[in-house]
Structure 1
Amino acid sequence: MAVPIRTVVAALCTALAATLLTTAPAGAEQRERAWTVTVAADAPRVRIALDDATGTLSLSVTRGGRTVIEPSPVGIVTERADFSKDLRFLRGKNRTVEERYRTRSGKRLDRRVRMNETRLSFATPAGARLDLLVRAAADGVAYRYVLPAGHGDVLGETSAFTLPPDAGAWLGTYRPDNEGQFTEYTAATAPTGAYSPQALFATDGGYTLLAESDLTGAYSGARLAHDKGTGTYRVELADDRVKTDGPLTTPWRAMVTGDLATVTRSTFTDDLAPASKVADPSWIRPGTVLWTWLAGGRPAGQSLAAQKAYVDYAAERNWPYEAVDAGWYFKADEWDVTDPDWQTNSWMPELVDHARAKGVGIIVWIHQRELDTSEERAQWLPTLERWGVKGVKIDFMDSEAQATLQWYDAILRETAAHHLMVNFHGSTVPKGIQRTWPHVMTLEGVAGEEKRTNTAAHLTTLPFTRNVIGSMDFTPGAFHRVGLRPNSDAAEVGLTVAYESGLQMFAGTPDSYDARPLARDYFDQVPAAWNDTRLLAGRPGREAVLARRSGDRWFLGGVYAGPARRAEVPLTIGAGRWLVETIQDGADGLVRNRQVLRGGDTFAVDVVANGGFAGIACPWRPGVTTCHR
C-alpha cells in the first residue's frame, strides 16, 4: 500500500535535472535545441533533441559517457495533428518525484523512488500542442506523450529505439499471449519481424531492457517491429486506431538500464505506475500453490475426489493454496449459465469448505469468455466470493488491443471489490499493473512449463527479460515431465527462486514430489514474497543465479545452459558467516551439500548439462546445522 507521496518541484537548471539549450558556434546557424535529464553523474542520462530544420524530436541515452540508446525518433500522429515533424518548442518545466510505497509481492516489498522529470511543450504550425514527459532514475529512463482534448484518435507512433548494429540482443518473437521464446541475436541480425516489447540489449553502456508502464484501456498495447540489417526497433500499436474522447496520456516507453545486476533487481516499471487503488490490501496474501493441471488435465479438474486429495496433500505440506484448473464448472464441455441451479449444482463450495478446514485456500481457473460482460461478472464474481474462493486464474485474453485492455480495467476493479486475487494466463505482461492493483499476484505472458519446445537458453534468459518487469507464472516443479523440459531436476528446483511469482504454482504430481524428498522439503520452505533480490552471477542465455531474501534467510536459485561444469558462485549476500545448503544433481538423484562460508566468498557447484541448483543461506553460529525450519 502506498504511503503519502512527497513531490518536490526542483529548481530549473539544477545539475541533476537540467534543461540545457545547445547552441551552435558563434556565427553559425543554430540547428538543434537539446535537453538532458539525469539523477546523478553515474546514472543514465537521457538527451532530447529538436532539429530546428525539420521540427523532429529524437531521444538518446548514455551512461558514463557510453552509448545506451542511439538518437531515436520520438513522435505520435493523431487524426487531427502530426506530432512527428514541424514542431516548435514552447516551454519546459522540471521537478523531482520522490515516493515510498510497499507492495504485497515482488522482488522487494519496500520500495523507494527518486526520479527527475522534465516536461517539454511543443506545438505544430497549426497550434496543436504536445507535451513530452521524460523521467530519469538511477536504473532507467522513460518518456510518454500528453495531449489535450481535441486531438482526435491516435493513428500511430513514430517512436523507435535505435541500437548499435552489433549490440547483443535477446528477443522474443511477438505473440498476443506473450509466449514467444527468447533467442540471442545482435540488434542488426535479428530477422525481420515483430518482437515482444520486453527486449534486452547489451552495448558499451551496459544492459538495457525495453518495457512499458501504466498501460490501460485508454490506449493500445505495443510490439517492436524490426527490419533485418538495422539496429532500429519501431513501436507498433495493436490497434490501427486508438479511440480517444478527451485528453490523453500515453503509457511510458521505458528503458531499464545499468549493469546486469541493476537491470535484474530493478523495479523501475512499477515505480513509474500509479499508486495502489486497493485501500485495504490485508486480504492479499502471496504463497505457494499446488497446481494440478499438468498432473492430470481436465479429468482431474472435474473430480471432486481428486481435488480433495490434492487439498489434503497441500495441507500436509503446509502449502497455502491449491489451484483447480479447467473443467470444474463444465457440463458436457459447456456450462449452462441460464440454468437457475447453476450455482448450487457445482461441487466447488464443498471443496472450498473442505480446504478451509485444513487451512488451504482454493484458486479456480475460469475462461475469459465467462467474464467478458458486466452481467457475467455480476454472476460469477460475487458467487466465488460467497463460496470462499481466494483467487481466480483467468485465461485466454490473447490480445493487447484497446478493447481488451478496457476489459482488464473492469475486471481489475471488480475482482478487487470481491477480494479475489488474480492470476492472468493467455495475457499481457505486468507493465506496472502489480503496483496499481496489488491483488494481481502473477501473470503468465511467458513460454512456461507447459511448452514442450523450451530450451535451456530460454530458461536462463527469462530472469533478465520477462521476469524483470513483474511476477511470472512459469509454473516450475514439473518433475514428472521428463523429456518434455530441457533442464535437470536440481535446475527445476532452482526455478522456484530464479523466477519470482506472487503465486508460485508447483506444476508436478504428489508422487513426483514424494520421489524427490529434498525437492519437496525445499518447496515447503520457499516463500512467494521477498524482502530483497540480488543477482549473484549471470549471462543471458547461459546462466542465471539469483538470491532472494525472506527474513534473515537467502534462498538461492541457479539455472544453466550448456555442458556440465563446475560453476563458481560469489556469495554476495552480506558480511558475516553463512551456512549454505545446496541441492544439486547427483549420480542417483538429488543430493544436499552443506558448507560454512563468509559473505563475499565464492563457492563451487557441480552442474550437469543444462542443470542448476537450489539453496538456502542462513546466518551461521555454533550449533546451527541446518537452514530448514
Structure 2
Amino acid sequence: MAVPIRTVVAGLCAGLVAALLTTAPARAEQDDQVWALSTGTHAPRARITLDSGTLSLAVSRDGRTVIEPSPVGIVTEQADLSKDLRFLHRKDRTVDERYRTKSGKRLDRRVHMKETRLSFATAAGARLDLVVRASADGVAYRYVLPGAHGDVLGETSAFNLPADAAAWLGTYRVDNEGQFVQYTAATAPTGEYSDQALFETSGGYTLLAESDLTGAYSGARLAHTQGTGTYRIKLADDRIRTDGPLTTPWRAMVTGDLATVTRSTFTDDLAPAPKVTDTSWIKPGTVLWTWLAGGKEAGQSLAAQKAYVDYAAERDWPYEAVDAGWYYKPGEWETVDPDWQTNSWMPELVRYARAKGVGIVVWIHQRELDTPEERAQWLPTLERWGVKGVKIDFMNSEAQPMLQWYDTILAETAAHHLLVDFHGSTIPKGIQRTWPHVMTLEGVAGEEKRTNTAAHLTTLPFTRNVIGSMDFTPGAFHRVGLRPNSDAAEVGLTVAYESGLQMFAGTPESYDQRPLARAYFDQVPAAWDDTRLLAGRPGQEAVLARRAGDRWFLGGVYAGAARTAEVPLSIGPGRWLVETVEDGADGLVRERKVLRGGDTLRVEVVAGGGFAGIACPWRPGITTCHRS
C-alpha cells in the first residue's frame, strides 16, 4: 500500500528532531571539555583539556608544538584539585592596558591579552578556577581557589617538552646564581633547575617563568628526571600557609621567535599595577661600585669613598655604591658597630657626594632589616642622611616567610624613598612593575664569579635578563684571568645586559687605562626607550640594540673562536653613523662607519670577544655620536 508523502515527511522530521535532541547535549558536553585561547593567527595558542576529570594545557604556535599537553592542578590539605573535576562555567574578557616603567627594556608598555576563566568543582564541592591568559608573546595560567581549602601541599603543574627540544638550563640555587648550560630537554641531568628555563621546539623558543610572586605563596623551581621531557613545578615550601581564598602566581611561557622572547615584557605585563603613586624620586642611572674595585678596606674608609665619589663626579656618573663594611666596627669584619648611627661617617660622605651631584647607595645585610624594630631603626636613618638607595643582600630563599619579608621591605623602602637593589635574591618575576623603585636584582652568576664561561655570558640575554633588570656588574677590566671575555666584550655587556642601576665593577685606574671604555661608560644610559635583538643564538652570540632618544647603543658578546661578526643593522631607515669599540692588537680601538638601516655591520671579534657601539642619525658634518 502506498504511503502518503505527507506521512513520510512527517516521519523524517520527527526522526531528525529526535536525533538533534539526542546528539546536541552530547556535542555540547564534548565541546565543553576543550577550550582554546589565542590573540591572533601567528600568536601562541593555548589549548586546555578536561579528560576524565583531569586538566591539561598545551601550547602551539602556527600549528607547531611549543608545550605538549601538560598536567595542571593543585593539592591542598582539604582537597585534591588535580583530579575528578567537573566543568561549571567559563568567563572571558580582554585585558588592554598601558603603563610606564622607570627601567627595563622600554619605558612605555602596551598590554593586549585574552583571558578565560574556567571554573571547576570536585564531587565534594571544592572549587578551582583556572585563569589562562594569552598574548602575542606568551601564555600564562594561575589557580584561584575561591573558598578556603586549607594549606597548599603542592602543585601537579608541569611542562612537557619534546624530548629533543634544545634546552638552556641553570642549576637551581637559593641565590639563583646557577650557570646556564645547553642540553636537550630529555638529556639534562636529574635535578632541580631555575624556573627561568629556555627551550627551542618546532614552534619556536619558549622561556618558562613566573609572575606576581608574593608572600601569599612560595617560589617555584623545576624538577626534572633525566630521560624525559617533563619539568615539574616544585615549590620552596612543603606546606604553604593560607587561611582563606587564594590566588597563586602566574606560570608563564614567553613564546615566539628569539627576537620576540628577548624583547618581551610578558612577566611584567602579568604583574599588578604599581603600588607607588609618586615615582618622581625614582631615577635609574650608572653607578661606580667599589666592592670589586676596593674590597673590604674601601668599605671601611671615608677617604677611599670620597675618592670614588670624586671620580664618579668627574665622569658625571650619577651614583656611587658603598658596599659591605661601612657600619662594622673599625678594623673588624662583619661585626656591627652597636653605635653605628652616631659613629658612622656615612652622613659626611652623603653630604660630600651631594655637593658634587653624586647619590650614595649603601649595602646592607638582610639580617639587619629582619624585624620591624630593626627596619624602624635603619630605614628612617638612611632617609634622613640622604642616602638614595639600598643594596640588600643574602636573602637566599624563596620560601613563604622570606617572600612575606619581601612584601614588607618593598612597602617600607618605598615609603622612605629608597631605591632598591636586591642581591642574594629572588629574580624579578614582575616585581619591577608593581614596585618601580626596585632598580635591579642580582639572581645571576655575575661578574664576581670566577667560573663563568663565554657561553654562559651569551645565554643570559635570552634567559635571566628577559624577565627583568639584572645586576651582573660589568666593567671589571682589572679582573684579567678571572673573566672569560675580552675588554671589548666587557664594554658591550653594559648594553647587552639591562639594569636600572648599571653597576660598573672596575677600578678607576682600569678605566683610565682604557679611555675608549671610559668614554663609552660616560655615554651609556640606564633607561631605554626600546630594545631589539640584532643577532643571537644562546650560548654562541648575543647582539642587542637599545635606544635612548635618537641614539641606539649596541652591545655584542660572543663565545668561541675569533671571527668577523656580521650584524644586521635593523634599527630603522636612513643613514647612521656607527661608532664601535673593538679589541685591537694593542688594546681597545674605535671604528667609524656610515651605514644605512638594514645594512650589515661587520666587526672583527677576538676569541671570547665582543664589541660596543653607538649609532646616531648621520648627516654631513656629523663626526661622532658622543655627546657632552
Q: Is the TM-score greater than 0.5?
A: yes
Matched, 1:501 2:499: yes
The residue aligned with 1:362 is: 360
Which whole-Å CA distance do the structure 2 matches of 1:488 and 1:336 have between them?
39
The superposition leaves residues 267-304 of structure 1 with CA deviations (integer Å, 9 ceiling, x where unpaired) of 00000000000010000000000001001211110000
Question: Is the alpha carbon distance of 1:485 and 1:578 closer, same or farther for their aligned partners in structure 2, counting shifts above 3 Å?
Answer: same
Partner amino acid for 1:558? G
Matched, 1:558 2:556: yes
Which whole-Å CA distance do the structure 1 matches of 2:30 and 2:326 have between them?
70
- Please say if residues 325 and 334 of structure 2, whose CA atoms lie closer than 8 Å, have aligned partners that are also in contact: no
The residue aligned with 1:106 is: 104
**Partner secondary structure for residue 494 of structure 1:** helix
Question: Is the alpha carbon distance of 1:336 and 1:595 closer, same or farther for their aligned partners in structure 2, counting shifts above 3 Å?
Answer: closer
The superposition leaves residues 28-67 of structure 1 with CA deviations (integer Å, 9 ceiling, x where unpaired) of 995981000100111000000000x2x1000000000000
The superposition leaves residues 398-437 of structure 1 with CA deviations (integer Å, 9 ceiling, x where unpaired) of 0000000000000000000000000000000000000000
Aligned with 2:605 (options 607, 610, 626): 607
**Partner secondary structure for residue 386 of structure 1:** helix
**Partner secondary structure for residue 340 of structure 2:** coil
Which whole-Å CA distance do the structure 2 matches of 1:443 and 1:603 have between them?
33
The residue aligned with 2:435 is: 437
The residue aligned with 2:224 is: 226
Question: Is the alpha carbon distance of 1:85 and 1:308 closer, same or farther for their aligned partners in structure 2, counting shifts above 3 Å?
Answer: same
Aligned with 1:216 (options 205, 214, 217): 214
**Partner secondary structure for residue 486 of structure 1:** coil
Map 1:333-348 to 2 at 5 A.
Answer: 333-336=333-336, 339=338, 341-348=339-346
Matched, 1:93 2:91: yes
**Partner secondary structure for residue 202 of structure 1:** strand
Alpha-carbon deviation of 1:342?
3.0
Unaligned runs of 5+ in 2: 1-22
- Cα root mean square deviation, aligned: 1.5
Which whole-Å CA distance do the structure 1 matches of 2:197 and 2:605 have between them?
28
Aligned with 2:76 (options 68, 75, 78): 78
The residue aligned with 1:15 is: none
**Partner secondary structure for residue 343 of structure 1:** helix
The residue aligned with 1:207 is: 205
Partner amino acid for 1:264? T
Partner amino acid for 1:439? H
What is the number of residues matched between the two proteins? 603
**Partner secondary structure for residue 344 of structure 1:** helix
Aligned with 1:193 (options 191, 194, 219): 191
The superposition leaves residues 603-622 of structure 1 with CA deviations (integer Å, 9 ceiling, x where unpaired) of 11000000000000000001
Which whole-Å CA distance do the structure 2 matches of 1:616 and 1:138 have between them?
30
The residue aligned with 2:460 is: 462
**Partner secondary structure for residue 175 of structure 2:** coil
The residue aligned with 1:261 is: 259
The residue aligned with 1:7 is: none
Which whole-Å CA distance do the structure 1 matches of 2:224 and 2:325 have between them?
41
Partner amino acid for 1:43? A
The residue aligned with 1:382 is: 380
- Please say if residues 390 and 420 of structure 2, whose CA atoms lie closer than 8 Å, have aligned partners that are also in contact: yes
The residue aligned with 1:525 is: 523
Alpha-carbon deviation of 1:344?
1.5
The residue aligned with 1:17 is: none
The residue aligned with 1:567 is: 565
**Partner secondary structure for residue 513 of structure 1:** helix
Which whole-Å CA distance do the structure 1 matches of 2:604 and 2:380 have between them?
52
Identity fraction in percent: 85
- Please say if residues 70 and 161 of structure 1, whose CA atoms lie closer than 8 Å, have aligned partners that are also in contact: yes
Which whole-Å CA distance do the structure 1 matches of 2:98 and 2:156 have between them?
34
- Please say if residues 127 and 147 of structure 2, whose CA atoms lie closer than 8 Å, have aligned partners that are also in contact: no
Map 1:142-181 to 2 at 5 A.
Answer: 142-181=140-179
Aligned with 1:482 (options 467, 480, 483): 480
**Partner secondary structure for residue 591 of structure 1:** strand
Map 1:35-54 to 2 at 5 A.
Answer: 35-51=35-51, 53=52
Question: Is the alpha carbon distance of 1:308 and 1:26 closer, same or farther for their aligned partners in structure 2, counting shifts above 3 Å?
Answer: closer
Unaligned runs of 5+ in 1: 1-22
The residue aligned with 1:117 is: 115
- Please say if residues 24 and 30 of structure 1, whose CA atoms lie closer than 8 Å, have aligned partners that are also in contact: no
TM-score (norm 1): 0.95
Which whole-Å CA distance do the structure 1 matches of 2:574 and 2:449 have between them?
42
Partner amino acid for 1:39? T
Which whole-Å CA distance do the structure 2 matches of 1:500 and 1:598 have between them?
26
**Partner secondary structure for residue 163 of structure 2:** coil
Partner amino acid for 1:625? T
Which whole-Å CA distance do the structure 2 matches of 1:602 and 1:612 have between them?
16
Which whole-Å CA distance do the structure 2 matches of 1:559 and 1:446 have between them?
17
Which whole-Å CA distance do the structure 1 matches of 2:279 and 2:29 have between them?
59
The superposition leaves residues 503-522 of structure 1 with CA deviations (integer Å, 9 ceiling, x where unpaired) of 00000000000000000000
The superposition leaves residues 475-528 of structure 1 with CA deviations (integer Å, 9 ceiling, x where unpaired) of 000000000000000000000000000000000000000000000000000000
- Please say if residues 162 and 231 of structure 1, whose CA atoms lie closer than 8 Å, have aligned partners that are also in contact: yes
The residue aligned with 1:272 is: 270
Aligned with 1:139 (options 118, 137, 140): 137
The residue aligned with 1:424 is: 422
- Please say if residues 24 and 31 of structure 1, whose CA atoms lie closer than 8 Å, have aligned partners that are also in contact: no
The superposition leaves residues 124-168 of structure 1 with CA deviations (integer Å, 9 ceiling, x where unpaired) of 110000000000000000000000232100000000000000000
Partner amino acid for 2:511? Y
Matched, 1:307 2:274: no
Question: Is the alpha carbon distance of 1:568 and 1:24 closer, same or farther for their aligned partners in structure 2, counting shifts above 3 Å?
Answer: farther
Which whole-Å CA distance do the structure 2 matches of 1:326 and 1:280 have between them?
30
Which whole-Å CA distance do the structure 2 matches of 1:170 and 1:312 have between them?
42
The residue aligned with 2:56 is: 58
Which whole-Å CA distance do the structure 1 matches of 2:98 and 2:294 have between them?
44
**Partner secondary structure for residue 194 of structure 1:** strand
TM-score (norm 2): 0.95
Which whole-Å CA distance do the structure 1 matches of 2:202 and 2:27 have between them?
36
Which whole-Å CA distance do the structure 2 matches of 1:24 and 1:167 have between them?
41
Higher helix share: 2
Which whole-Å CA distance do the structure 2 matches of 1:25 and 1:231 have between them?
38
**Partner secondary structure for residue 544 of structure 1:** strand
Aligned with 1:252 (options 230, 250, 253): 250
Which whole-Å CA distance do the structure 2 matches of 1:132 and 1:385 have between them?
43
Map 1:443-458 to 2 at 5 A.
Answer: 443-458=441-456
- Please say if residues 138 and 252 of structure 2, whose CA atoms lie closer than 8 Å, have aligned partners that are also in contact: yes
- Please say if residues 196 and 224 of structure 1, whose CA atoms lie closer than 8 Å, have aligned partners that are also in contact: yes
The residue aligned with 2:291 is: 293
Which whole-Å CA distance do the structure 2 matches of 1:547 and 1:351 have between them?
36
Which whole-Å CA distance do the structure 2 matches of 1:445 and 1:216 have between them?
17
The residue aligned with 2:19 is: none
Which whole-Å CA distance do the structure 2 matches of 1:240 and 1:430 have between them?
23
The superposition leaves residues 442-497 of structure 1 with CA deviations (integer Å, 9 ceiling, x where unpaired) of 00000000000000000000000000000000000000000000000000000000
Which whole-Å CA distance do the structure 2 matches of 1:508 and 1:553 have between them?
26
Which whole-Å CA distance do the structure 1 matches of 2:572 and 2:480 have between them?
37
Partner amino acid for 1:152? G
Which whole-Å CA distance do the structure 1 matches of 2:174 and 2:24 have between them?
47
The residue aligned with 1:514 is: 512
Which whole-Å CA distance do the structure 2 matches of 1:388 and 1:290 have between them?
18
Question: Is the alpha carbon distance of 1:63 and 1:386 closer, same or farther for their aligned partners in structure 2, counting shifts above 3 Å?
Answer: same
The residue aligned with 2:615 is: 617
Matched, 1:596 2:598: no
Which whole-Å CA distance do the structure 2 matches of 1:456 and 1:24 have between them?
61
Aligned with 1:242 (options 221, 240, 243): 240
The residue aligned with 1:547 is: 545
Question: Is the alpha carbon distance of 1:181 and 1:25 closer, same or farther for their aligned partners in structure 2, counting shifts above 3 Å?
Answer: farther
